[in-house]
Amino acid sequence: MSRSTHAAPDSATRQEAEIGRALLAILWHLVEELRPGAQALPRATLDGSLERELGLDSLARAELLLRIERKFKVKLPEQVLGSAQTPQDLLAAVLAARHLPRIAISAECPPDFGTPAHALPKRAATLAEALQWHVDTHPDRLHIRLEGGEEGQEGGRQISYAILWEKARKVAAALRDLGLDPGQTAGLMLPTTADYFYCFFGILFAGGIPVPIYPPARLSQIEDHFRRHAGILSNAQVAVLITLPEAKVLARLLTAQVTELRHVVSPNALTGFAGSTEPYRASSEDIALLQYTSGSTGNPKGVVLSHANLLANISAMGQAMHVSSSDVFVSWLPLYHDMGLIGAWLGSLYYACPLVAMSPLAFLARPERWLWAIHRHRGTLSASPNFAYDLCMRKIADEDIQGLDLSTWRCAFNGAEPVSPDTMRAFVERFGPYGFRPEAVLPVYGLAENSVGLAFPPPGRGLRVDRLKRDRFMWTRRSVPTSDDDPSALEAVCCGRALPGHEIRVVDAAGHELGEREEGRLEFKGPSATRGYWRRPDQTARLVHDGWLDSGDLAYTAGGEVYITGRSKDIIIRGGRHVFPYELEEAVGKIQGVRKGCVAVFGGHDRVAGTERLIVLAETREAEATARDRLRSLIADTALELLGAPADEIVLGPVHSVLKTSSGKIRRAATRERYELGLRGIAPRAIWWQFVRLAAMDAWPGLRRALNAAGEAAYAAYAWMLLVLLAPLAWTAAVVLARPAWGWRSSGWFARMFLRLARVSIAVQGRENLPGDEPYVVVANHASYLDGLVLVAALPQPLNFIAKRELGGQFFAGTFLRRIGARFVERFDPQHGAEDAGRLIELAKTQQSLAFFPEGTFTRAAGLRPFRLGAFVAAAQADLKVVPVALAGTRTVLRGDDWFPRHGAIRVTIGKPIRPPGYGWHAAIRLRDAARQEILRDCGEPDWAT
């Protein structure tokens, strides 16, 4: 009996020890993978710290839990992701989970979300007015459904518009009672719960300005978390901080560091307030939100966003994506991030489409929960950074998604960090058998300085990737397409075109706009753009100039759509979070043994995780192994303390490992390239050779830019010289010649001469489609001031140009145009416009050929705009064929609002004549649509009418 009594405990102890050893082996292998090439990796022990000693952040923890679950065939509670501090905690969780039954995620669909709404709060000037419109229209309509946490608890709390309204009024009354005045800021540091939504609108209702800040991932680190974010709270001048109840004990610590902070309160104290109040009546230009990027700790920049900014962005994104109240948005995105806060929640609120919200930790612990939520709620819209799509592929087992149906998912947005085409192709392949459609993939581009979204591709198109000649792009910054079988091709993902009402352009270092397929700095403007940074006039001055805002990103355009190629401001985006290199470089440079000013922090793409790796390269003269291990440990602690996330790799390099400019600035991109070529373990070269290489590498980019700029300026001057010489001759010939037909032909000769001497090639296709002696109507797209010249050069038969009336009043332009047969019409005055339309009909009936630019005008942004009906009414009434002419390339040679011509090639495609299908108004509309479709096919630009 005695032996039997002691056998079971001994067996259990041995089994626990075996599980512990296996768990530590899993942990050790993971650390090795996360630190490739690193020396003296720390040995994992059961009592060691997962974060401080082993450097495991939330993403690494999620991967660790996946491997543990697969090894031991258990399902760990998702709170383990945030609560486990040591391997011993994980071991305890594994031992407990072995005795619990596994509960499958429910695949049943919840009750219907209700009938679609047939109107929108288009007249709302503020977020509060938009919410009030919904409360007045359909107060009981479901707005938010909060997903549960543990398996078997997918049902969540439901929030209607009326509930949100009433709870927010209580919060507002409580905040006013605490002394929050209109225009003051209130910090919001909460996880994804119902309280977040109530408190956000409660701050607005009180007249305050919400400042979302991400909450601590683990309560055990809440003190360090607040210390790191004291800079944001201080910069924002936060008067009230709403956060977790456990944080109230830190009120004294925070109030000592943030002088304006008067109260640290929990949501319960606000939502349970006895009274309520009417919302503060804000204006559209009042500040609705301060958006701090998640990594801005030491030098914080709060993006100022007004109600008008947010509503303009939400409206434009919805218009581009054809969003309606029939959609269902499923989101795990954190609400402190602009994509989750504005794109998912506030966008859903405006369009009355239900939002299914779940915790980011729930997603990281069980990525399949995201997909099952889309399945259960028949989700149509959902967004994530690239790493999340990759995580789904790596972490979700087939057995966990049996019966999954993703066929309703029509827009799978991928944004907030660089989009990997490999990740999205693999995601389509993996989840295609579960109903996910390739055309649902939507790479998008946005930034907090434009509220959230800036460029979107058309829905339903799917992934579009540009394959480029790598060497050509790296040396000349020109994106030259290459073949599909080129093994060295560089891939760039298309993010679509600017949202309606917004503009983007690509400029060089001098601020000159570049042509298509030339890489430069991306700038933007529009109604969603911020007015600047909160209390940072120096940074605002760098952001805004001449009405344009600097994105800090590198890009090129092709076909009017944007391709993002990198970040000129060196921000590292890791798991959706921004990391600013300068802060960490400064801190690491202060460590004894590290050469001050000789530290580079940069990102390296992690093909396994689908995100960026944080790499710290520090120069040191230390050669002893013990001293170098000490430095790595101190650098790891510094990164963790400053950023709240560990470095993925710490490299101790010899002197001159970190490349610099001649003025001493860190060249992070060049240092990263050197690192990727094998910096780790290389022996330092001779000093003289290092100086030669550094000088050459530093001089070449500047020399290349200078040569390119000089060449472009010389060409522009040459082109204008040609125009100055030839234009008077062409004008004189047109005026002297007696007939418009002769003037047309002489002008065509001069136009072709100008293009030939300016080295602008022009290729004309389809001249055989022009009707012989039969009169007709030419309609062409309008993209540049060159368009008229190009038509005169390309079309041999004389036409009567239809030009705007303003040109007729100019001596030189008006005289010239009249001599070649132009007619002038009013574009804006309705009465004169109707009279001119009648004259055009009569002119067409006299059997004279006419030429129109039916768009009426052009802008600098690429895209075929809607056609006016005048040309087509005239053609239908006179029974004249319409000849569509597509011009491609003129916008690149000379863009609107820019008098800086560039080299380029122009293509003119003359389509087949289209006979009017009748004589009435409807016939003109059909004729217009047919001609426009022909031009759209050949002009090489996107459709701005959709």
User: Is pLDDT larger for residue 65 or for residue 384?
Assistant: 384
Query: Is the pLDDT score of 144 beyond 80?
Result: yes
Stretch 16-28: mean pLDDT? 84
Could you say which of 1.20.1110.10, 1.10.3720.10, 1.10.1200.10, 3.40.50.1220 is the CATH number of the domain covering 17-97?
1.10.1200.10
CA distance 807 to 814: 5
Predicted confidence band of residue 118 (pLDDT cuts 50, 70, 90): confident
User: Is pLDDT larger for residue 279 or for residue 774?
Assistant: 279
Per-residue DSSP letter, 520: E
pLDDT of residue 389: 95
Stretch 636-648: mean pLDDT? 79
Show the CA angle centred on residue 705, arms to residues 701 and 706, nearest 5°. Answer: 115
Phi and psi torsions of 242, nearest 5°: -105, 120
Query: Is the pLDDT score of 154 beyond 50?
Result: no
pLDDT of residue 692: 54
Query: Is the pLDDT score of 818 beyond 90?
Result: no
Strand partners, 492: 466
pLDDT of residue 258: 83
Contact present, 906 and 888 (Cβ < 8 Å) = yes
Q: Is 594 helix (H, G, I), strand (E, B) or coil?
A: strand
> CB-hemisphere CA count at 13 Å for 647?
28
Decide the pairing of beta strands 453-456 and 445-446: antiparallel
Stretch 590-612: mean pLDDT? 77
Contact present, 332 and 358 (Cβ < 8 Å) = yes
Q: Which amino acid is at 297?
A: T
User: Is pLDDT larger for residue 324 or for residue 845?
Assistant: 324
Contact present, 352 and 141 (Cβ < 8 Å) = yes
CA distance 524 to 511: 13
Query: Is the pLDDT score of 611 beyond 70?
Result: no
pLDDT of residue 829: 42
Stretch 433-438: mean pLDDT? 97
pLDDT of residue 329: 98
Domain boundaries, the chain: 17-97, 127-456, 466-567, 580-684, 715-939
Residue labelled with tokens 């602009």: 338
Query: Is the pLDDT score of 42 beyond 70?
Result: no
Contact present, 499 and 316 (Cβ < 8 Å) = yes
What would the CATH number be for the domain defined by 466-567? 2.30.38.10
User: Is pLDDT larger for residue 713 or for residue 39?
Assistant: 713
pLDDT of residue 879: 86
Residue labelled with tokens 């999954």: 404
CA distance 335 to 848: 63
User: Is pLDDT larger for residue 577 or for residue 662?
Assistant: 577
Stretch 885-893: mean pLDDT? 90
Query: Is the pLDDT score of 503 beyond 70?
Result: yes
Query: Is the pLDDT score of 589 beyond 80?
Result: yes
Contact present, 551 and 522 (Cβ < 8 Å) = yes
How is residue 175 written in tokens?
Answer: 């905040």
CA distance 300 to 892: 39
Express each pLDDT in 675-724 by its tens digit: 766 654 444 445 445 445 545 544 555 566 667 778 778 888 888 898 88
Q: Is 899 helix (H, G, I), strand (E, B) or coil?
A: coil
DSSP letter for each residue of 840-868: HHHHHHTT--EEE-TT----SS-SBPPPP
pLDDT of residue 698: 47
- CATH 3.40.920.10, domain 127-456, yes or no: no
Q: Mean pLDDT: which of 396-410, 620-634, 761-775 is highest?
A: 396-410
DSSP letter for each residue of 159-207: EEHHHHHHHHHHHHHHHHHTTPPTT-EEEEE--SSHHHHHHHHHHHHTT
Predicted confidence band of residue 831 (pLDDT cuts 50, 70, 90): very low
pLDDT of residue 180: 96
Stretch 869-884: mean pLDDT? 87
pLDDT of residue 222: 61
CA distance 435 to 832: 56
Query: Is the pLDDT score of 249 beyond 70?
Result: no
Predicted confidence band of residue 384 (pLDDT cuts 50, 70, 90): very high
Query: Is the pLDDT score of 622 beyond 60?
Result: yes
CA distance 668 to 573: 15
Question: 715-939 belongs to which CATH class?
Answer: alpha beta
What would the CATH number be for the domain defined by 580-684? 3.30.300.30
pLDDT of residue 680: 44
Write down the mean pLDDT value for the chain.
83
Alpha-carbon torsion (269, 275, 278, 281), positive or negative: negative
Predicted confidence band of residue 732 (pLDDT cuts 50, 70, 90): confident
Contact present, 450 and 313 (Cβ < 8 Å) = yes
Express each pLDDT in 524-549 by its tens digit: 999 999 999 999 999 999 999 989 99
Predicted confidence band of residue 169 (pLDDT cuts 50, 70, 90): very high
Query: Is the pLDDT score of 152 beyond 60?
Result: no
CA distance 235 to 256: 14
Decide the pairing of beta strands 441-443 and 185-189: unpaired
The secondary structure element, H or E, covering residue 437 is: none
User: Is pLDDT larger for residue 406 or for residue 103?
Assistant: 406
Express each pLDDT in 334-376 by its tens digit: 999 899 999 999 999 999 999 999 999 889 888 999 999 999 9
